[in-house]
Amino acid sequence: MPPTDITLDEARSPVVETISDCLGRGDPEAPSGNVGVRIDAERVAISPSGIPYHEIGPGDVPIVDLDDEVLEGELPPSSEPPMPTTVYRHRVDVGGIVHVHSPYATTFASLRRGIDPVHYLIAFAGKGVPVAPYARNGTAAIGRMAAETMGDRTVVLLRSNGGVATGPALDDTPTVGSRVEYRTRIEWQASLLGEPELIDDELDAFIDYFREYREAPWAVGRIRPTRPARLAPPRATAAPEPRCSPRRRRRTAPGR
């Protein structure tokens, strides 16, 4: 189980930061969803409902137990708490969960189409991403379907809903989700031009590589550390890697 010796403030702050990175840019086309982080064996901090993403502060984040009972906080939790809490009950190795209705992954989920291994970045999620059977959001059934379909993978698609990405800590989770969304877009674009080829034979090596990446000393036991150096230093001109989806750059007048 991920380390749990954190305070409520230490759990709530990364929830707010992840919401800001992934959901809270005030963009009407930005994906919606929810975020959760495990505090200990019995408690979870989960994003609230009934408040715009960009207005959420640490004190607004409710604390719930694994039976979905609110333990602390004035705002109600996300309308889908049975989904993350069920995953937490089934997977003691999961510390962070991000559920996002990102456009490409949600398109595949709506088609009941899983994500195939046509690009090596799928290894972040395993050998592919399956689609869980449909269940209405906010019910115990959707959590059960998500946990059972995910198995020991890190990502699952929810039919006609969106995607669920998990990680040992919340800081890992948006990266997994963004790479799956990117990889889903690649498969979609490739399928418009032809039949994408699978790379099944190479996946075990990539899965081992990414496992070592995640288990490196700087990646163990963190909730929101300073971002570590990459395994291979990027070129000085490289753009920073997006966490969930690229932010829109504000246009400025010439000369500014």
Question: Which secondary-structure segment (H or E) carries 12?
Answer: helix 8-22
Whether 98 contacts 18, CB under 8 Å: yes
Q: How far is CA 155 from CA 6, 21, 74, 114, in A?
A: 25, 19, 31, 11
Collapsing DSSP states into helix, strand and coil, what is residue 208?
Answer: helix
Q: Which residues are catalytic?
A: 80
Phi, psi torsion values for 204, nearest 5 degrees = -60, -40
Note whether 187 and 117 are within 8 A (CB). Answer: no
What single-letter DSSP state applies at residue 77? B
Distance from C-alpha of 109 to C-alpha of 114, rounded to nearest angstrom: 7
